[in-house]
Amino acid sequence: MTAAEAEPVIRVEGLTMGFDDFVLMRDLNFEVRRGEIFVILGGSGSGKSTLLKHMIGLYAPQAGRIWIGGEDIAHADGARLETMLRGMGVMYQMGALFGSMTLLENVRLPLEEHTSLPRAAMDAVARARLQLVGLGAFADFVPSEISGGMQKRAAIARAMALDPSVLFLDEPSAGLDPITSRELDRLILRLARSLGMTIVIVSHELASIFAIADRVIMLDKESRGIVADGDPRRLREESAHPWVRRFLGGETGGAEVDNQEVSA
Ligand SMILES: Nc1ncnc2c1ncn2[C@@H]1O[C@H](COP(=O)(O)OP(=O)(O)O)[C@@H](O)[C@H]1O
Ligand SMILES: [Mg+2]
């Protein structure tokens, strides 16, 4: 089964979001399907991070519903919300690691906060997550001792600590050089293709979008809505919006990573 045929894990219905009486986006409707790499695009300040925070229940919508596995996260409370949140791993846009802690301690933190596992079991899980992102040998390093790309991978390992079914990444490749960025793309592809993770990513990096996205939506600040929803290559050729075609057409070819190459 391909991601396009899988059932929706997140369904956003008539979402209007903003702050106080300011409306940022009106009546958003879209679905994220199981196993899909779903990319949220849009100009700076269009509301990408805000949308992500609505999807993880951090902000309350002005209107609309956000269905996660059949339950509206915007109206879930207490124990239900806690259960729903445990199924989601998040790497925030500014979500740095704690500099005074080792990678192992950083990844162990969500386990300490949300489980009552014995210490040895927590350590074993944390080591397994570090292994998964290729940092098994760096468990006892502190963030300043490793590269920026490795720090991002460690942050992904931390987001995966509680074995979430959906992973949210806000601009994971920000600040990385193109080669390190492509490495991160390969990791993200591997998590989706071999572990079946559903991954929601905020990005504006074209090379990355064409390398990993099964589907993109594009937020438009002007019209306060979604101006594109679909496969990025098709949208680049066929979108009714000239600027969507221009945005996606801004850079092609050379820098692309072949999807097939990594999914094998
Ligand atoms: N907590 C908040 N309170 C008020 N305004 C906010 C808040 N968070 C974001 N905004 C505003 O909402 C708009 C969208 O922000 P954001 O979602 O961070 O955009 P993006 O991630 O697309 O760059 C910006 O104008 C920002 O200033
Ligand atoms: Mg943002």
Looking up residue 40, the CATH number of its domain turns out to be 3.40.50.300
Atom 1 (ligand 1) nearest CA: 19
137 C-alpha to center of ligand 2: Å? 32
Select from 16, 19, 20, 222 the residue to mutate for testing ligand 1; criterion: most ligand atoms less than 8 Å from CB. Answer: 19
Between vectors from CA 42 to CA 67 and to CA 246, what angle results, nearest 5°? Answer: 130
| 196 contacts 165 by C-beta, under 8 angstroms | no
State which residues form the domain around 235. 3-87+165-263
- The most distant pair of C-alpha atoms in the chain lies apart, rounded to whole Å, by 56
| Banded pLDDT at 254 (limits 50, 70, 90) | very low
Atom 2 (ligand 1) nearest CA: 19
171 C-alpha to center of ligand 2: Å? 7
**Is 195 part of any domain?**
yes
Number of H helices, E strands in the chain: 10, 10
* Chain segment 186-235, per-residue pLDDT in tens: 999 999 999 999 999 999 888 889 999 999 999 999 999 999 999 999 99
Cβ of residue 249 lying under 6 Å from some atom of ligand 1: no
**Is 81 part of any domain?**
yes
The number of domains in the chain is 1
**Is 155 part of any domain?**
no
> In sequence order, what are the residues at sequence separation of 6 or more whose Cβ sits closer than 8 angstroms to the Cβ of residue 16?
23, 25, 26, 27, 28, 61, 62, 63, 64
Looking at 25-34, 50-59, 245-254, which range is the least confident one?
245-254
| 8 contacts 32 by C-beta, under 8 angstroms | yes
| Banded pLDDT at 160 (limits 50, 70, 90) | very high
Select from 17, 24, 217, 218 the residue to mutate for testing ligand 1; criterion: most ligand atoms less than 8 Å from CB. Answer: 24
Which two three-digit tokens encode residue 240? 């009714």
**Is 96 part of any domain?**
no
pLDDT over threshold 80, residue 95: no
Q: Which residues surround ligand 2, an ion (CB under 5 A)?
A: 48-49, 93
pLDDT in the model for residue 79:
87
Burial 118-142 (b: 16+ CB within 10 A, else e): eeeebbebbbebbebbebeebbeeb
Handedness of CA 24, 235, 43, 166 (dihedral sign): positive
Burial 161-183 (b: 16+ CB within 10 A, else e): bbebbbbbbbbbbeebeeebbbb
- What integer is the mean pLDDT of 102-125? 96
Percent of the chain with pLDDT over 70: 93
51 C-alpha to center of ligand 1: Å? 9
Of 240, 237, 214, the C-alpha closest to 226 is 240
Atom 3 (ligand 1) nearest CA: 19
Cβ of residue 174 lying under 6 Å from some atom of ligand 1: no
Residue count (the chain)? 264
**Is 129 part of any domain?**
no
H/E stretch holding 62: none
pLDDT over threshold 50, residue 264: no
**Is 14 part of any domain?**
yes
| Banded pLDDT at 1 (limits 50, 70, 90) | low
pTM of the predicted model over 0.85: yes
**Is 159 part of any domain?**
no
Measured from the Cα of 19, ligand 1's closest atom is: 4
193 C-alpha to center of ligand 2: Å? 26
Measured from the Cα of 171, ligand 1's closest atom is: 21
pLDDT in the model for residue 262:
34
Cβ of residue 60 lying under 6 Å from some atom of ligand 1: no
Cβ of residue 46 lying under 6 Å from some atom of ligand 1: yes
**Is 116 part of any domain?**
no
